[in-house]
Amino acid sequence: MSEFLLVQTMNGLSFGALLFLLASGLSLIYGVMKIVNIAHGSYFMLGAYIGLSVIIRTKNFFLGAIAGAIAIGVVGLLMERIFLRRFPLQASPQMMLTLGFTLVFRDLALLIWGGDPYTLPAPVFVRGSTEILHVVFPVYRLFVIGVAAVVAICLWVFNEKTLVGAKLRAAVDDYEMAGGVGLNVPLISGCMFGLGAFLAAFGGVMGGPIFGVYPGLDLELLSLGFVVVIVGGRGSLKGSAVGSILVGLVDNFGKALVPELSYFTLFAPMAIVLAIRPTGLFGRE
């Protein structure tokens, strides 16, 4: 029993780590631009696909991860600069635009990579498995947890300790005042959007060896990302970290214990959080 508990906890944590890469961008974009990016799940999926193509050609996992992340980061930046910028601070049309892009991205991915599911090969030095307390555990999952933790720390340092981070926090708190004191809020939100896309695509490649990449991954991950943001609180980095771990664990134990109701088990934490704190665990207002 304790073996089961340990394995599922580790699985849940590694899934939560991937969710964090997705949801932190989603949450930060919401924080600055007050929009929910429906295309965020698409970034995750496209990142994984691009990573796959690069890895197959170069046989190098990290090149694939960087290439996928940068390519999608640029896509996100362009999307914000060219399209979303036309509707500054109008949440509804911006969101509807990202919805249109979700459909386009989904079909483009189907056109380019076909409908077959693929699994990305894990990098050589983290293949195989290891034993923790007599429980066999794949090294790659531990590696993913480690990478997400590093990303989380980097994001935290960036957000709390650097000047750019301070500007970002100012824009999140009150974009009007931030603009009034001379910060270039449109530039900040554009970069945030790009960074969010970058992180999501990076998460997509990191998740590739675990659950692969297939059509439909985009919306599946998007809904999970939404649950994380609802539970953690919109616009909060800490919230998305805690929310990801929580959702990752609940989802994993749900799938293992009551496979028939697996998606429904996510309903419980969400309902509880919404009932007690409508803004999410770390949300403001």
- In a 13 Å sphere around the CA of 1, the CA atoms on its Cβ side amount to 0
Which of residues 222, 241, 245, 246 is near other proteins by CB under 8 A?
222
Total binding residues toward other proteins, as defined by CB under 8 A: 45
Nearer to other proteins, 110 or 154 (CB): 110
Closest-CA residue to 144 (of 247, 280, 13): 13
Question: Among the candidate windows 1-9, 119-127, 134-142, 225-233, which touches other proteins by CB under 8 A?
Answer: 225-233
Which of residues 67, 168, 229, 241 is near other proteins by CB under 8 A?
229
Which of residues 88, 93, 114, 117 is near other proteins by CB under 8 A?
93
Q: Measured from the CB of residue 98, what is the shortest distance to other proteins in angstroms?
A: 10
Cα angle 182, 185, 186; round to 5: 130
Nearer to other proteins, 20 or 143 (CB): 20
Nearer to other proteins, 111 or 163 (CB): 111
221 forms part of the interface with other proteins (CB under 8 A): no
Nearer to other proteins, 120 or 217 (CB): 217
263 forms part of the interface with other proteins (CB under 8 A): yes
Nearer to other proteins, 157 or 274 (CB): 274
